[in-house]
Every structure is written in structure tokens, then in C-alpha cells.
Structure 1
């Protein structure tokens, strides 16, 4: 069996509202009807599944229409939900205000997806070679302690892939240190990686990330249309991006991560996995909706057109 992609983070429902601009404080803007999408961890899992990876969602889902929407979206792409449904509480939502520039602003609620335990996470049954994805946003509130306890007990050979998110630098030093000691793959954007290393140049930041990670770790630092830098096996590779005219950047970083880990699960080198992830993110920003990652065939065609 090929390694699996297992995600531990929050699967939410994105309620997307297209606004002409953000309202001033206390103000109001008019918008067309909102659209609802399964989002959060779903974005990464669907991006990985569309590359052919076997994927598992180990996080919690709720009882109610939002939980049902999340599970239906995962099932449609062949993603397994391993943990039991949380009774009497629905999955939370993320209100996404999408501007004409494709920039987005979020308000996230917390509900059933925050009710995980060591036992519920263990339903994914990770084995050596599997890639377990972690979000920095899971290192707060009720998800932090069970997640860290479970990660510390993973079998040898399981890759722990941390997407830190903007929140990571705001976490207590003890939590950050504990998580970094368990991380074998860092995949953060330029701003998040600069917060860790003090380096704004992604090619410089990538190897500097390893100063905070266990021996043999890998670092990927992405910078949207500018591409990403990958440090693996003692070598840093600078990979160009594929700038596009964006219509929706929500989920672009998630697409990058999902393609990255799926390609790695398939046995591709880290640099090639990241090159395909750059292409996946470029395609995604031309599509509306957070979980609109391309398939492997679409990435093949896109890369062929670039050569």
C-alpha cells in the first residue's frame, strides 16, 4: 500500500460572501446571496485525493446540515472519515468575505470540529510512511492537548506535516517548541516562515527553518505566484511559480499543501512534489470556491503548456 494522507485539522463550512469592499467598522455593504462550501481541512484532503492519494480525515464532524455537507464532500472524492460523528452539535462555519481583488477576510466559529480526543484521532491508525497533516489553528483551545499527546505517540516513520498558519507565531512558546519538536515537514508561507526564522527571502528562510526542527526534517516555504523554496536532503531548491489572474485565492495555500503531500505519498522527490504543488495553486486561484483544486491530469496539462 502507498502511504496515506491523514488530516487532523478542522473541517468547516465556508460561507462565502462576495463584497465590493470590506465595510468600515459599524458599517454595512450589500452583497449577493452567500455560497456554502465544505472547507478548512477539506480543501487539503480533496486536493490530495485528486492526485490519486488515499486520504483520511481524522478530525471531528458534527451532527447537522454543516456536518453532513462536510462528510458528503469528502465521500464524493473517496476520502474516508475515520472518527465518529459528534452528537448533538453541528460543525462550525467560517464566514469568508471575498473582495474583487480576490483577497479574503475570515470570521471562524468553533463547534463540533473542536471536540477531538486521542481516541478519535487514533481511528485513522497511522502507519510508517503515512503523512499526518497538522494545522497551527489546531494548537489552540480544546484541540491542542489531545492533538499534541497523540502526535507524541505516533509510530516511527510517520511524517508530521505542519502548516503553521498565521496564528503560529502568536502561540505560547511552550506550545510552539513542543509542536516543532514533533514536526518533520514544515510547509508555511513567506510571512509565517519569516516569523520563525527572521528571514524574508524564502530561499534563505527554507534551510533556516530546519534550525527549529528535528534532524532530517524538510522545509517548504511558499510565496504564492512567486513559487516556493524547498530544503530537503541538505539542498535548497528555488522553484518558480506560475502567476495567474486570480478570481479567488481562498484555498490556494491548502491546494499547494494537498498536492505536495499527495505527490510525496506517491514517491516523488520533494522538489518535484513542490513544483506540481506550485502548478496546482496557480490553477486553483483561477476558480471560485475553496475546494476547487485541479486533478493530476489537469496539472500535467498545465505544466506541459508551460514548457
Structure 2
């Protein structure tokens, strides 16, 4: 059977503004560039699909210009769509401010993607060898959270569950967090998110603390240009990153996760998958825009 990635996160539209610096409270600043592009969960799916992994979006999406834009982008990347569009509202959007150092700051306006229900996923049965991806954003909405947590008991033990808590990791309800920690095969987050969840600023210590809370899985903590840390098989491994001239850090973590999952699906061991993911994230930050993950040929050429 060919593995499939079932993405249960949220596709939104990113309104990206490049700014010299964030405005002071009550202030204003002129953007030097503006872009409207599908984002959120789309970035992870695009990164995985460009590596040759079959991907299906199983989240909700709306009716309107943002929903149309999101679906068109999914079709362009060859990503399947499980659910019909909601007729009650449009897909949400994210205002993303990218400063002169390439750092990004978000404000999210939820839309139809925040309306996933248990009934939407009632017939979803990922097969052995498939991957299921859940993000913390979905866990912040009552309806989505009920749908996602309701799916977990039905998952085949041979399905790989990848959880990325996201920037709002500290806001995930405790019960939902613990349920996911128990079932997740991979807990993937950046150093800031790991610190929010553990209270530990040192990424290595945070990775160890997260590992101690997992029921069956392993931990990946992204450490920016330094690469990432894996706590897997009872040991902590530092997987070094790649030195590049960063233009835009937006979507780097998504590119990393998508490439990592695609490599795992092909049978790569976790360290090799993380090495490839580090390269994918490095290439992604050399171009402007959130969905800049390379395809398999570009990534192979970079690694060779």
C-alpha cells in the first residue's frame, strides 16, 4: 500500500506584509511588500507533496474568495480534499508581518476551518502505514478538538500520528494535550513551543521533558539554523542544520515537518529524515513566501 498523509489541520489564507520593523503600540508602518497566499496547514502539505508523498486535506474549508484560493492551491499541488466546502462562511485568514530580520509575527482570524465536527471524520479510517497530522491550532476550537480527539481511539496502531502544537501551544487545553501526548508517534515543535510546554528554556532539556510525557512516541525540537534535536530510541541526537542566507523564515517549520514526514513515509530512519528536513527548511528560507519548500529534485541536488 502507498502511504497517505491525512492532514487534519487548518488551511487558511496568509496576508503577508514585509515591514522594516513591527510598529509600536498604537503606531503604524508602511509595508514594503504584500502577498496573499494560501498558508497554515497548506505549507506542510505542499512540502510533503513536493517530496512525492500522497496527501489528503481532511480539514474544513469555506465558500468565498479565500476558500476558492485555498482549494485552487491544493489542486495545483496534487493534494486531495476529503470534505465538501462549508456553505455558511469563508475560510479564515492570517495577517503575517515579516520584519527586516526575517522573523514573522501572526494575527489569525478563524473562519470555516474552525468548524470541523466529529461527523466530518466519522468514516475516516487511515490505513496501516499512513500518517495523520494534527496541529495545535485545531485543538483551540471546541468543535475541531472534539472531532480530532474522537478520531484518536479509532486509529490503527500502525498509523503514524504526528502532532505539531504550533505557536499557541501554551493555550491547548490540558486534557487534549495529554491525550495527544499519549498517542503521538512524533511530537514536532520548535524550541519556543517546547519551552512553553515544559517551562525549560534549554531545548535539549525540554526535549527530554517532553519525551518523558509521551506514551509511545519520540520528540523532534527544531532549533532554527542549528538544525533540530531528536529524542528517539532512548537517546538525544543533535542533527545539524545548513548555513544559508535567510530571506524569509515564514513557513520554515512547516517545510521541515512536511519533508520529515515524507522521508519517514519512504522508510528513512528518523535521523536521516531529520537531516533531509533540515535541508528542506534551509532551502525554504532562501525565498520569500510561506510555501517555499523545495521539490524532491531540488532537495536532492542541494544535499548532493
Length-normalised TM-score, structure 2: 0.94
1:102 match = 102
1:206 match = 207
Give unpaired runs (5+ residues) of structure 1: none
CA contact (8 A) 1:93 1:110 kept: yes
2:57 match = 57
| Superposed counterparts of 1:70-219, under 5 Å | 70-122=70-122, 124-141=124-141, 142-215=143-216, 217-219=217-219
CA contact (8 A) 1:263 1:273 kept: yes
1:24 match = 24
1:258 match = 258
What's the CA shift for 1:159? 1.3
What's the CA shift for 1:123? 5.5
What's the CA shift for 1:199? 4.2
**Deviation string for 1:32-66 (max 9, x for gaps)?**
46211110000000000011000010001111111
1:69 match = 69
1:246 match = 246
What's the CA shift for 1:197? 3.9
CA distance, structure 1, for counterparts of residue 199 and residue 30 of structure 2: 41
**Deviation string for 1:8-42 (max 9, x for gaps)?**
01100001111121111211112246211110000
CA distance, structure 2, for counterparts of residue 67 and residue 73 of structure 1: 10
Give unpaired runs (5+ residues) of structure 2: none
1:46 match = 46
CA contact (8 A) 1:10 1:59 kept: yes
1:225 match = 225
Farther off after superposition, 189-198 or 70-79: 189-198
CA RMSD, 1 decimal: 1.6
Number of equivalenced pairs = 303
CA distance, structure 2, for counterparts of residue 123 and residue 84 of structure 1: 14
What's the CA shift for 1:200? 3.8
CA distance, structure 1, for counterparts of residue 166 and residue 5 of structure 2: 19
What's the CA shift for 1:251? 0.4
What's the CA shift for 1:223? 0.4
